[in-house]
Amino acid sequence: MTSKELVSLDYTLKDLYEIDSSEKKHPTLVYCVNDSGASQSAEFIYHSALQESDGDPVSPEGILRLNVTCQRYSFLSGAMPVVILAVDSINTHWNDISRDQSQIQNNFSNLEPSQSPILSFATKASEISLIPGSLIAVTQPLDRLSCQPHLVDRKTHYEILSKRGLAYSGLPTPPTLVIDSVLDYDEIHDHSKIVDEAARMIKKLDAQPIPFVVKFPQSSGSGTFIVSCKDSLAKVKEILALRLPEMLTKLSSASQPLNPCSLVLERYISGKVVAISMFVTPQGCSVFICCCKQSMNGKNSWIGASISYQKQTVLSHRYREIIDETGRFLHRKGYHGPAGIDVVTDRSGNQYIIDLNVRITGSFCLGLMTGHFTERELFTAVIEKSSFPYPKHIFEKAFATEIRDGRIIITGWAYEETIRMGYGAVVIGGRDNKEAEDLLERVREHAISSSK
């Protein structure tokens, strides 16, 4: 690979963490490749295992996806410490997949060397070696990392990541009702009381004006259900009747004070939705990164995003007030780092935050690649994540010209020979929407169609 083929980001997470920091201090980023969810005694409970997702997160395919997610985030870090944590799995073969360091390291070979992460690997949290005085930054607090010092208080981070936390944040959100569980921890082993509590909580949906949205407090898009009519209300209640009791059985004495089993009912507001990526500095300034349109699949899971670089200046001004308000809120909570807000604008021009992601976002990379694309007169870019039936080098051969010309950037790729499957994340640039979409369709022709 020649120097002119190397990807140079406009700036990196390292650069952002050093803004208005007199000591130019930055944390150690820790990404977990194969965390399989919470244990029965967990303090921090997440609901991914209760959702109709794109696959088992601890299956070989699921681990490939998590592997690529770690690569995508690490791609943006710059020359700062990044730890890839691959914890022990009950299946030794899964360990081999998640701990394949060569594929992860290879992914950064197309970055400018000065922007490559300072990479290390660990199989348990106690193996993570930190520079004296350094703290770790995570996408979400995990019990297994409790032995390490965190940049942000773990309970606070969990709170501001939650849909419940957003409802009580004071930020501009749609009218929202939070239904907390009143079940005591010592009652979770009584099946009849769990069923009765779930029924009590679900019953409150009947009084909510339609349309509205039902959310689990700690979940991704697939933990969100839109109630648009009486038929969909009945279907959502049926789903909750199955999932809510299981959520309640996972309560522990440590997790109960964090309200992980609430239901969040939010008024549905029709309007244009945008995904804004931002960075909150140590002094509480809000740096606009980019404003994008998200792509979701049929299960309401995030699969990509698109950006118009020519509109970014206008969009940054349009949403400046709500960005700054979000930044001030996060700073008061003791948070600094990357974040994202999904904002809907109603017919009267009112802006509402419908999701707050207090972590690096999937579309964050599009802002950092502005110069790469616009210098090549590519003013539109899209992110695509797909499964492929082959390893990275075959994709690189098929799209050698586009990669050489800077129209395709591979931000993550993992392959497992035993299942003959790869999973890749690419960013595709075009002079306009049509050119980008045409190239995207060519990429999709190589993908496994069921990967979405």
Domains (range + CATH), the chain: 3-151 (no CATH), 175-267 (3.30.1490), 272-451 (3.30.470.20)
pLDDT score, position 229: 97
pLDDT score, position 49: 47
CB 361 within 8 A of CB 340: yes
CA 369 to chain centre: 18
Local structure of residue 17 (DSSP, 8 states): H
CB atoms < 10 A from the CB of 63, how many? 30
Whether the bond into 113 is cis, omega within 30 of 0: no
pLDDT score, position 86: 86
CB 397 within 8 A of CB 388: no
Residue ranges of the chain with pLDDT lower than 70?
A: 1-4, 35-41, 48-58, 88-99, 220-222, 298-300, 450-452
Which spans in 254-377 are helix H? Answer: 312-318, 320-332, 364-368, 370-374
Residue 36's nearest CA partner among 76, 84, 90 is 90
CB 129 within 8 A of CB 120: yes
3-state secondary structure 140-180: CCCHHHCCCCECCCHHHHHHHHCHHHHHCCCCCCCCEEEEC
pLDDT score, position 53: 47
Residue 164's nearest CA partner among 258, 301, 80 is 258
CA 164 to chain centre: 17
Residue written as token pair 């088992």: 56
Helix (H) or strand (E) holding 292: strand 286-296
The CA radius of gyration of the chain, in Å to the nearest whole number, is 22
Local structure of residue 389 (DSSP, 8 states): S
Q: Give the separation between CA 403 and CA 447, rounded to whole angstroms.
A: 17
User: pTM of the prediction?
Assistant: 0.93
Residue written as token pair 């933990």: 223
pLDDT score, position 400: 96
Token output for 138: 């995570």
Alpha-carbon torsion (74, 37, 238, 175), positive or negative: negative
Q: Give the separation between CA 91 and CA 277, rounded to whole angstroms.
A: 37
